[in-house]
Amino acid sequence: MNKHNNISKDWWKESAVGIPKIITELPGPKSKVMHANTTKYMKGLSGQVKLFPICFEEGSGIMLKDVDGNKYLDFSSGIYVTSLGHCHPKISEAISYWAKKLMNAHDFTTPVKEKLMEKMAGILPGKLNCIQLYSDGTTAVEAAIRAARAITGKHEFISGYRDFHGKTQAAVSCAQMYRGENFSYGPTRAAGFYMVPRPDPYRPLWTKVNGSIDTDAYITFYENFLKEGTVGNVAAFVLEPAQGWAGSIFPPDDYFPKLKKLCEKYGILLYDDEVLAGMGRTGEWLTLNHWNVVPDIVTIGKSFGNGFPVAAMIVSEENGDALEKISASSSYGGNPMACAAALASIEVIEEEEILQNVRNVGAFFMKRLEKMKAEHPIIGDVKGKGFLLGIELVKDKKTKEPFEEAGKLVYQKAFRRGLAWIPAGHILRMSPPLIMDEKHAAMGLDIIEDSISEVEKEFGYV
Ligand SMILES: Cc1ncc(COP(=O)(O)O)c(C=O)c1O
């Protein structure tokens, strides 16, 4: 039982009975009309929506319902956001309490902000306890860039190939999102922002003689790059702990410990952008905890408010004074509803022992994914920790040529079978709600496996 308001840990199970349940063709007739009406005006939607234009109207736990009455199993959590399940009763109640009592008080203290600050300082590692609150991940990333400049007095930044950090100017300068057709409005990288290769164990740039990935070679390259490719004014390495948008790519275990040492040697901050991977998604509060590395700056968002827009930027105590130079105030950051959502979400993770569930069911996911990899000719790699998972599709296991067309088809076929999830080209990304049990994890993977088998047949692999 949830000790504060007697909500059972199993609150989501009733709405999950009988899912997925598809009762119309997909997209259904109402979805089609509503989507067409919306896109008369709304432009620039994501590939996820363009490939499967459904109109959703309800969510509960791991179930999503569209306007035609079709019910889906959720393998996306919105977009890594509603991690404790859609409309968790405790979190919805906490938000609506403040929606009726006090919606905004600028950056004045409120009772719920007081509680949240203490709670956050309690769960973050080391002395990460100087906090600013924002309304979305990107704004928190911008604040982190300003904070790194204020702390170090330096102005250059290094991020990793295929990282993603948001869509404002500093954030896109640290990201590799705007390539190809998206690049048509001009260069996006601001001066002083650089990108370096980061290790992808399936596609290593540098390997040891035994063929395994050579982390030291990456670190040596960085050291050389600091000397030759910068003006010696690097404020921070800006990195996702595991790459979400790129397809759930985790670095080797020795990468972050070695990078942290390099940062210490050169007086560079390690800024860990946990907007996507943090707050329990990989079975720890922060993904860097897996490697016992405490960063100098962290950002969190997405799961932080379980769907309510709230994000945070945190620096360690010794650098806290620098935050006085970068005002935290914003119109919505830290409003009482946002604080209530974040506080309730953290309490739910603790009370429902979510981290343990993620570790247990995450191990089940990986075991099953490895089996699928062994049995399917187009699965080149499976990857993940906890509930941040990916399946990489290739045309040939030897050449590892990405199989983009298969990625799109598998996404659509699985959606048609009732799985709401996220495509990423040839890497199939999965981010199920962290409350999910093995039964529903297996159900989702069955749908994906059936869809992969069908695509393999269509392309003549079996
Ligand atoms: C690692 C990372 N940082 C920052 C962001 C931006 O967050 P938001 O979309 O809330 O602005 C994202 C969004 O996907 C992300 O994955």
Q: Per residue in 343-401, pLDDT tens?
A: 999 999 999 999 999 999 999 999 999 999 999 999 999 999 999 999 999 999 999 99
Q: Is 240 in the pocket of ligand 1 (CB under 6 A)?
A: yes
What's the CA-to-centroid distance between 156 and ligand 1, angstroms?
21
- Can you give the pTM of this predicted structure? 0.97
What's the CA-to-centroid distance between 276 and ligand 1, angstroms?
6
Span of 117-126, 155-164, 173-182, 292-301 with lowest mean pLDDT: 173-182
366-378 pLDDT tens trace: 999 999 999 999 9
Question: How far is CA 14 from its chain centroid?
Answer: 27
Question: For residue 427, what are the β-bridge partners?
Answer: 392
Q: Is 272 in the pocket of ligand 1 (CB under 6 A)?
A: no
Is the bond preceding residue 27 a cis peptide, omega within 30 degrees? Answer: yes
Q: Supply the residue whose CA is at minimum distance from atom 2 of ligand 1.
A: 165
- At a CB cut-off of 8 Å and minimum separation 6, what does 325 contact? 150
- pLDDT value at position 1? 44
Average pLDDT for residues 48-53, to the nearest whole number? 92
- CA–CA distances in Å: residue 189 to residues 159, 170, 193, 277: 12, 8, 7, 24
Q: Is 301 in the pocket of ligand 1 (CB under 6 A)?
A: yes
Percentage of the residues of the chain whose pLDDT score is greater than 70: 96
206-226 pLDDT tens trace: 999 999 999 999 999 999 999
Q: Supply the residue whose CA is at minimum distance from atom 3 of ligand 1.
A: 165
Domains, the chain: 14-84+354-383+401-424+438-458 (3.90.1150.10), 89-351 (3.40.640.10)
Query: Is residue 4 over pLDDT 60?
Result: no
Band (pLDDT 50/70/90 cuts) for residue 112 is very high
> Burial level of 46, CB count in 10 A (0-12/13-18/19+)?
exposed
Residue with tokens 């070679």: 217
Nearest-atom index, ligand 1, CA of 163? 1
Q: Is 137 in the pocket of ligand 1 (CB under 6 A)?
A: yes
Percentage of the residues of the chain whose pLDDT score is greater than 90: 90
Q: Give the closest residue to 276 by CA, choosing from 361, 175, 165.
A: 165
What's the CA-to-centroid distance between 22 and ligand 1, angstroms?
31
Q: Tell me if 119 sits within 8 A of 343, measured CB to CB.
A: yes
Q: Give the closest residue to 19 by CA, choosing from 75, 56, 64.
A: 64
241-251 pLDDT tens trace: 999 999 999 99
Query: Considering Cα of 202, then 203, then 207, then 209, what sign does the dihedral take?
Result: positive
Q: Is 352 in the pocket of ligand 1 (CB under 6 A)?
A: no
Nearest-atom index, ligand 1, CA of 139? 11
Q: Is 276 in the pocket of ligand 1 (CB under 6 A)?
A: yes
